[in-house]
């Protein structure tokens, strides 16, 4: 409430009290006092309305500040990288390979705890252009980049703490050129026998979801086209779709 309104409110209250004390039996003064009380009530209602608006504004500002401080995950980019594939268990170079590296970033204002990139669904494009989602897909954790030492020791890193605004990369899969046929190998933490772990030439889509202990999940879909020839100039073509290409529930 502004200072002038406070001053008016105090002055009118004082005047009403004094007039009521000194001229209780005067009808004219009673009218004056009643008028003053009416004005007071009107001003008090105005003050209450201003306080309500101020409280709402402060509450909204508090919600906005809290939202800005919360961690928020974003699967922001990906790249195809050609490098030498090494069998770390035997320390043997196998030849060139193409890796798909994806990036997850915490774009919030505080630490994101226990973040895990999970391969939550997959599907393939059929010859007629329709998409078919693989049924009963088992969600699998994906391998963090630069975690070779832990992988060799048999204890790959499953989750990480993500500081705000720093990019962290994980592997989706690789295509090895030393093989006779093109095979896209998923780089998951485990390779179950109950479902496919590698794929031949064709067009596929992989749904990746980043989970965290204290942030909402972030999800994206990666369309991967595997060339028939692993020695082609670009045997892997990748794009982020932003939505699943297969119909919901298929």
Tokens at residue 115, please?
A: 């973040």
Q: Which domain holds residue 99?
A: 73-240
Whether residues 119 and 230 share a domain: the answer is yes
Say what the pLDDT of residue 249 is.
54
- For residue 207, being part of any structural domain is answered with yes
Global confidence as pTM: 0.74
CATH code for the domain in which residue 150 is found: 2.60.40.10
Give yes or no for residue 190 having a pLDDT over 60: yes
**Taking the chain, what is the end-to-end CA distance rounded to the nearest angstrom?**
60
Give yes or no for residue 6 having a pLDDT over 70: no
8 Å CB contact between 148 and 132: no
Say what the pLDDT of residue 21 is.
52
Of 120, 74, 101, 239, the closest CA to residue 170 belongs to 101
pLDDT band with cut points at 50, 70 and 90 for residue 198: very high
Which of 13, 38, 69 is at the close of a domain?
69
Whether residues 28 and 99 share a domain: the answer is no
User: Please, what is the angle between helix 27-69 and helix 3-22, to 10°?
Assistant: 150
Nearest-5° angle of CA 47, CA 50, CA 53?
150
**How confident is the model over 42-71, as pLDDT tens digits?**
666 677 777 777 777 777 777 666 666 799
Whether residues 132 and 167 share a domain: the answer is yes
Whether residues 126 and 202 share a domain: the answer is yes
What is the domain count for the chain?
Answer: 2
Say what the pLDDT of residue 117 is.
97
Whether residues 117 and 185 share a domain: the answer is yes
- For residue 248, being part of any structural domain is answered with no
Whether residues 17 and 95 share a domain: the answer is no
């Amino acid at each position: 409430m502004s200072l002038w309104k406070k001053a008016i409110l105090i002055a009118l209250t004082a005047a009403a009290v004094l007039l009521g004390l000194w001229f209780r039996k005067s009808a004219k003064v009673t009218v004056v006092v009643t008028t003053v009380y009416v004005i007071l009530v009107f001003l008090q209602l105005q003050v209450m309305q201003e306080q309500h608006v101020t409280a709402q504004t402060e509450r909204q500002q508090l919600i906005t500040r809290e939202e800005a401080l919360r961690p928020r995950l974003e699967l922001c980019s990906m790249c195809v990288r050609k490098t030498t594939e090494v069998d770390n268990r035997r320390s043997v170079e196998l030849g060139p390979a193409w890796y798909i590296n994806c990036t997850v970033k915490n774009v919030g204002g505080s630490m994101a705890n226990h973040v895990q990139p999970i391969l939550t669904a997959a599907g393939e494009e059929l010859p007629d252009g329709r998409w078919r989602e693989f049924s009963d897909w088992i969600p699998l954790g994906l391998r963090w980049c630069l975690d070779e030492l832990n992988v060799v020791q048999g204890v790959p890193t499953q989750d990480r703490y993500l500081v705000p605004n720093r990019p962290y990369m994980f592997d989706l899969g690789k295509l090895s050129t030393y093989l006779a046929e093109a095979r896209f190998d998923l780089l998951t933490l485990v390779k179950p026998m109950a479902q496919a772990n590698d794929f031949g030439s064709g067009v596929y889509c992989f749904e990746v979801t980043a989970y965290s202990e204290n942030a909402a999940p972030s999800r994206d879909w990666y369309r991967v086209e595997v060339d028939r020839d692993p020695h082609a100039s670009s045997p892997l073509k990748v794009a982020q779709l932003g939505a699943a290409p297969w119909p919901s529930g298929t």
